[in-house]
């Protein structure tokens, strides 16, 4: 057993080194990086009654002027193409609701009225998009436009998988950011489907994702391999062992999860998220599922100042700006923000997706209201 265990560790180390130094898996000289790395986490919970609940956190050093935005059916879009040419054109088939940025219907996280949901997460050091020539300009779009196209066009992840070859995503420069945004994407649907899309070495790589979990770099296959280092984790406490007549017991509860990484790096968050989502008792229904999702999100909450970096000579800090919980079975979006911990929701069933314009509500407004119970004493 020990020999097999150390062999697994050795193989994993070799794989990690190959990621760092080889062209096919590592970051190429053309891949995109950013000094402002996100620490986002996304996951899925399946309730016993069939309800599917999604959780997602958004971490960054500065906010994007985020809104909750509605896009109606029949809204016309034209993608961004090189040299100012018009790119891929489409009209929304489904109404969309989600977190948008820069006062534009560019969705970092959202769902549509058919039950498809998409989260876009930062993918620095590995994202390398596709080449677009003049002959392919009409098929092209920017990385930040992919989520809007998917949400407006498809009801399931399989529909999206079948259509992704129709478009080319290229290294378009975001005027708001000043660079190309390195992103990868996780898709969920109300039928239980889940897939990951990553652009690496100019290729669109799609992976089925039965775990329903995603964080940031490295690529998704690396995270799956890294789980081999944590096969001993379990919800049950470790039983006492007898060594030379002395009974050795754990010092406290939680010995089964001893070694669970608690830092904020992407590999550690991936492992932690898999452990939490896979060992938590399945919620009974939507209400319990939403409650559980917010509890799990607490394990990834970053307070201002805990994660710092230098940006142009200035110290900045990633923090959890907002989190969403999406019930894609009943079509309800819940959210809370760093400055306002009160839960808010938008029920897609109550919205009018038959209008002719987009509508937005500021996602970051307000502070939470604290309920004063002092008058209930004495």
Q: How far is CA 291 from CA 51, 68, 75, 317, 369, in A?
A: 13, 21, 34, 28, 19
Q: Which residues pair with 318 in a beta bridge?
A: 307
User: What's residue 37's pLDDT?
Assistant: 55
Tokens 């990484």 sit at which residue? 261
CA 1 to chain centre: 36
Tokens 């596709």 sit at which residue? 130
CA 137 to chain centre: 29
User: What's residue 105's pLDDT?
Assistant: 65
User: What's residue 60's pLDDT?
Assistant: 86
CATH number of 29-364: 3.60.60.10
User: What's residue 103's pLDDT?
Assistant: 66
Contacts 24+ apart (CB under 8 A), 349-357: 351/70, 351/95, 351/97, 352/72, 353/70, 353/72, 353/73, 353/94, 353/95, 353/113, 354/72, 354/73, 355/72, 356/72, 356/74, 357/72
Q: pLDDT by residue for the chain (378 residues), tens digit each?
A: 334 434 444 444 433 433 333 333 333 333 444 444 578 999 999 999 999 999 999 998 877 768 999 999 999 999 999 998 999 999 999 999 999 987 666 899 999 999 999 999 999 999 999 999 999 999 999 999 999 999 999 999 999 999 999 999 999 998 777 789 999 999 999 999 999 999 999 999 999 999 999 999 999 999 999 999 999 999 999 999 999 999 999 899 999 999 999 999 999 999 999 999 999 999 999 999 999 999 999 999 999 999 998 888 899 999 999 999 999 999 999 999 999 999 999 999 999 999 999 999 999 888 999 999 999 998
Which residues are designated catalytic?
Answer: 40
CA 97 to chain centre: 16
Distance in angstroms (rounded) separating the CA atoms of residues 77 and 83: 18
Alpha helices, DSSP H only, in the chain?
Answer: 2-21, 146-153, 157-163, 220-226, 266-279, 286-298
Tokens 């940031």 sit at which residue? 216
Q: What is the pTM of this model?
A: 0.89
Domain ranges of the chain: 29-364
């Amino acid at each position: 057993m020990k020999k097999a265990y150390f062999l697994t560790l050795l193989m994993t180390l070799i794989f990690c080194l190959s990621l760092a130094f080889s062209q096919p898996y590592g970051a190429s000289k053309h891949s995109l990086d950013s000094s402002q790395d996100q620490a986002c986490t996304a996951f899925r919970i399946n309730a016993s009654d069939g309800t599917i609940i999604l959780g997602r956190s958004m971490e960054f050093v500065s906010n994007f002027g985020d809104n909750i935005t509605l896009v109606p059916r029949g809204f016309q879009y034209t993608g961004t193409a090189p040299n100012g040419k018009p790119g891929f054109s489409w009209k929304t088939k489904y109404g969309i609701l989600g977190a948008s940025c820069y006062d534009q219907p560019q969705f970092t996280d959202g769902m549509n009225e058919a039950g498809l949901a998409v989260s876009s997460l930062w993918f620095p050091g590995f994202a390398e998009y596709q080449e677009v020539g003049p002959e392919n300009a009409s098929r092209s779009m920017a990385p930040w436009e992919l989520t809007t196209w998917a949400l407006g066009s498809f009801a399931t992840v399989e529909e999206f998988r079948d259509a992704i070859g129709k478009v080319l995503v290229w290294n378009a420069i975001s005027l708001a950011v000043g660079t190309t945004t390195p992103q990868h994407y996780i898709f969920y649907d109300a039928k239980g489907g889940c897939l990951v899309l990553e652009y690496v070495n100019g290729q669109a790589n799609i992976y089925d994702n039965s775990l329903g979990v995603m964080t940031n770099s490295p690529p998704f296959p690396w995270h799956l391999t890294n789980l081999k280092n944590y096969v001993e984790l379990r919800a049950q406490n470790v039983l006492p062992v007898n060594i030379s007549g002395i009974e050795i017991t754990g010092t406290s509860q939680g010995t089964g999860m001893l070694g669970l990484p608690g830092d904020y790096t992407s590999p550690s968050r991936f492992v932690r998220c898999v452990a939490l989502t896979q060992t938590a008792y399945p919620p009974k229904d939507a209400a319990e599922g939403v409650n559980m999702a917010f509890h799990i999100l607490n394990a990834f909450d970053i307070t201002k100042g805990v994660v710092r970096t230098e940006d142009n000579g200035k110290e900045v800090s990633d923090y959890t700006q907002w989190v969403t919980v999406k019930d894609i079975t009943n079509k309800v979006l819940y959210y809370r923000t760093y400055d306002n911990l009160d839960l808010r929701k938008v029920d897609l069933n109550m919205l009018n997706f038959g209008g002719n314009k987009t509508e937005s509500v500021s996602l970051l407004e307000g502070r939470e209201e604290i309920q004063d119970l002092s008058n209930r004493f004495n």
